[in-house]
Amino acid sequence: MSDTQVRLTQMVTSAGCAAKIFPHILSEALKGIEWATNANVIVGFEGKDDAGVYKINDELALIHTTDFFTPVVDDPYLFGQIAAANALSDVYAMGGTPINALNILAFPQKEDLSILKEILKGGADKVKESGAVIIGGHSIDITNIVYGLAVTGTIKPENIKGNNTAKPGDKLILTKALGTGILNNVIKFSALDDKYYDQLISSMIRLNKNASECMVLFNANACTDVTGFGLAGHSMQMAQASGTVIRFYVNELPVLPGAEWAIGENYLTRGDKSNREYTKDFVVSSGNINKTKEHLLYDPQTSGGLLISVPEENANLLLLELHKRGDIFANIVGDVSDASDEYKPGTIVFDYN
């Protein structure tokens, strides 16, 4: 792992997307509030989608999103990159192009400001890689370090890849491997072997830009990115919004090297439990459950991959293009079907056969 003298993960109580408010608690807090809307709001609160979309005219809509979290790694520059990649991901999940961003920053100003500079530099470099620009931001002085972005993207209204348009017969492709939450916990509470650390960092700093461009090229029907609510939570939201049933072939899910070892050592995040609670009424397991792999389904991902719902005839072509462009862990991991007497709309089936 990095030889930095800074231990950012020791300066905060919880790390990355695992620091999110528990989803069942957040859902309860949002209930009963009358959110104003108008005819130009194409995507709002109702589907728990990755970003909001506001129509400007028939040729242009703006995608708005924000994401920020506490450090998942000890290196400030890498943390800045990871946080920025994670925030940009929501625009990519909608099939859009990020154009600008605002920094969101909390930092204890009594600490070494060179740490702050490196965080901001990491974010700036990652946004530059995306082709967008940072045009401002806001900061506060508090104990916990927090960094992220508010991002604006553009898209043609008819090209939006929401989480509510998965179609029965689609195949599901996951573009990054699972296990970031568990491995980040190893970094926080112990030390992660270099052979695992390097692949974890490579995954988290990789933009979903390429994956987004590929899914648009091969006419994907729907998409979401897999972050704090884990594969189970985000796929459940897609299934509910689409009125479909999603089945995962658990043995086909890509897994980061070291993640299963870390589960065996009990480096589980608090999100493992909360994501189970959030999805318990919609999850069905089939076959002999592998308890180690089961943890991966609920692990909160930081800068995770895209979960793409694509017509079956395009799935293998999309997968080949993803591999060709560097998304080496991408794999066909499931399918979409109609609800039935056996499975209600929104059900997630984890098939261990």
Kindly compute the dihedral angle of the four CA atoms of residues 233, 350, 338, 27, in this order, to the nearest 10 degrees: -20
Distance CA 206, CA 179 (A): 15
- Supply the pLDDT for residue 140: 96
- Supply the pLDDT for residue 1: 41
- Supply the pLDDT for residue 13: 59
Name the strands in the sheet holding 97-106, side by side, starting at the edge strand that comes first in the sequence: 41-43, 52-57, 60-69, 146-155, 97-106, 133-140
Determine which one of 6, 12, 15, 17 is catalytic. 17
Q: Crossing angle for the helix pair 76-93 and 113-130, nearest 10 degrees?
A: 30
- Which residues in the chain land under pLDDT 70? 1-6, 11-20, 46-49
Distance CA 100, CA 137 (A): 11
- Supply the pLDDT for residue 239: 97
Given this structure, which CATH class describes domain 171-351?
alpha beta
- Supply the pLDDT for residue 345: 96
User: Is 171-351 the same fold as 8-159?
Assistant: no
Domain ranges of the chain: 8-159, 171-351
Amino acid in position 86:
N
- Supply the pLDDT for residue 14: 58
- Supply the pLDDT for residue 2: 42
- Ramachandran sector of residue 205 (left: φ over 0; alpha: ψ -120 to 50; beta: rest): alpha
What is the tens place of the pLDDT at every residue in 7-22? 787 766 555 555 667 7
CATH level 2 (architecture), domain 8-159: 2-Layer Sandwich (3.30)
pTM metric for this prediction: 0.92
- 307, 238 in Cβ contact below 8 A? yes
Main-chain dihedrals φ then ψ at residue 303, nearest 5 degrees: 50, 50
Question: In the annotation, is 17 catalytic?
Answer: yes
Amino acid in position 282:
F
